[in-house]
Amino acid sequence: MELSPELTEWMRYTKERQRALEVIKSQDDCDGDESLYSYQRVGVQWLTSIKKGILADAQGLGKTVIASAACAWLRDKPLNIGVICKGSNISGWAIHMNDWFNRGVIWRDKTRGVAVVDHEDFSHTHIVNYDNSSALRQFDLNILIVDEAHHVRNRKTQAFRVIKGLAKKSEYLFLLTASPTINADYDMWTLLHLCDPDRFSSYWSYVFRFFDVSQSTFGLKVEGVKDSERDNLHNMISTYMLARDESILNLPGMSKKVVLYELSPEHRVVYNQMENEWIASLGDESVSASVKVAQVTRLRQLAISPKQVLSGFAGYDKIDKLVEVVQESDKPTVIFTMFEQAAILAKERLNQNGISCETFTGETKNRDDVIRRFGHDFRVLAATFGTGGESLTLVQAKRAIFLDWAWHPAGLKHAAMRIHRIGQNDEVEIIAIKSVNTVEEHIEDIIRTKGKMSIQEILRRVSNGHDKSLAT
């Protein structure tokens, strides 16, 4: 079959462009702002050349800086820039964009729910959180930046549909994420579709080509990558993605250790009640769990402290063990937990023991001020994974303590990289405190062996006891 001249020319152009992008990725350095690291200058050139791509550098390599510098590199004319990020990062993005352009004015348009940076060269940056991403529809954007882009991996969400429309109209699209996939490579489709909707027009065409698919009780189940397509998938994804790991920085070392916590007798009684009967009581208080997600959540809470759900509990718990671990060093420390109440309990217990601590959760006000004071006015920051585990720089800390486990391995790595990143001059210590003979052991084992959480698998193991050989 003879190809048309137009298609032949398009294929030639595409191959040349791919070769040019691979050359950029392979460089150790290139032209650009001298204040950047050499690999950051390469990142700027790659983003501005590909126009629509995924910057998937590891946490701590400065994706925000690279994207901001890329916008500044393109300012041969006034630009309309849109940034979508978590609400806690809006002010940080405003400061970065203002630093990379001629100094302008930062203000909040409360009516439209947008933070605005009016730059002196008549460019404008409009910054919104994910819930308000539709507010960017009112602007004629040249550049769209999506921070923590793994949050739009679900193709069925309103956020994805809004960003899809914005990306289609924008000349440049910078998708920033250290975890382009959370559970499996099929998560990548949404990001690839945003970059090239013509090539990746159908999710199921992508899945059927590259993945094994089976029929289950609930419909089609996507399995692993086909062996015959593994290299093809890798090559195709790499066309749209630039990913470097932290080894490029030659950072100080990072040590890891696990501290075991044996539940005290009074703690064990309450935990076992929930595990065996899905109800726990203490005096006049009681708490139950009737559905699967609630059952796992309650076990996770009780593995830390019954006081999270039963206020009358006064025995020794994992929070007391945490205090002992913190007391072993006077280094600035960040505590990470899935539960806001656990962070509050940690703060209370540490303060009672003469250790200054503040919380950093979804309820925290004046977040920028809290981060600024950390390491000076107080020594320990108790943060939730969702609020403190992404898009922050906490290099004043020298230790991270995981009070419990995030739902996926990327959550743990993201949290650790808040500390072990550019600007860190000292060795970092990562400590995980694990409650022995509890749901935490199953969660750790499942994440380690399977790479993702499964509520059904956790409950199956709990109901069968603690034999790790039950893993399938």
pLDDT tens column, 346-355: 999 999 999 9
Confidence of residue 25 (pLDDT cuts 50, 70, 90): confident
Confidence of residue 298 (pLDDT cuts 50, 70, 90): very high
The mean per-residue pLDDT over the stretch 205-226 comes to 86
pLDDT tens column, 61-101: 889 999 999 999 998 888 899 999 988 788 888 888 888 87
The mean per-residue pLDDT over the stretch 1-22 comes to 70
In this predicted model, which residue has the larger pLDDT, 11 or 144?
144
Q: Which CATH superfamily is domain 11-246 in?
A: Tandem AAA-ATPase domain (3.40.50.10810)
pLDDT value for 468: 39
Residue 9 scores a pLDDT above 80: no
pTM as predicted: 0.71
Percent of the chain with pLDDT over 90: 49
Q: What is the mean pLDDT of the chain?
A: 87
pLDDT tens column, 372-395: 999 999 999 999 998 876 768 899
Confidence of residue 173 (pLDDT cuts 50, 70, 90): very high
pLDDT value for 48: 94
The mean per-residue pLDDT over the stretch 389-414 comes to 85
Confidence of residue 466 (pLDDT cuts 50, 70, 90): very low
Confidence of residue 472 (pLDDT cuts 50, 70, 90): very low
The mean per-residue pLDDT over the stretch 128-152 comes to 93
- Residue spans per domain, the chain: 11-246, 254-470
Domain spanning 254-470: which CATH class is it, in words? alpha beta
The mean per-residue pLDDT over the stretch 204-226 comes to 86
Q: Do domains 11-246 and 254-470 have the same CATH topology?
A: yes
Confidence of residue 10 (pLDDT cuts 50, 70, 90): low
Residue 469 scores a pLDDT above 70: no
pLDDT value for 24: 86
Residue 453 scores a pLDDT above 60: no
The mean per-residue pLDDT over the stretch 300-313 comes to 94
In this predicted model, which residue has the larger pLDDT, 109 or 375?
375
Return the HEC string of the chain.
CCCCHHHHHHHHHHHHHHHHHHHHHHCCCCCCCCCCCHHHHHHHHHHHHHCEEEECCCCCCCHHHHHHHHHHHCCCCCCEEEEEECHHHHHHHHHHHHHHCCCCEEEEECCCCEEEEECCCCCEEEEEEHHHHHHHHHCCCCEEEECCHHHHCCCCCHHHHHHHHHHHHCCEEEEECCCCCCCCHHHHHHHHHHHCCCCCCCHHHHHHHHEEEEEECCEEEEEEECHHHHHHHHHHHHHHEECCCHHHHCCCCEEEEEEEECCCHHHHHHHHHHHHHCEEEECCEEEECCCHHHHHHHHHHHHHCHHHCCCCCCCCCHHHHHHHHHHCCCCCEEEEECCHHHHHHHHHHHHHCCCCEEEECCCCCCHHHHHHHECCCECEEEEEHHHHCCCCCCCCCCEEEECCCCCCHHHHHHHHCCCCCCCCCCCEEEEEEEECCCHHHHHHHHHHHHCCCCHHHHHHHHHCCCCHHHCC
The mean per-residue pLDDT over the stretch 4-28 comes to 74
pLDDT value for 88: 78
Confidence of residue 3 (pLDDT cuts 50, 70, 90): low
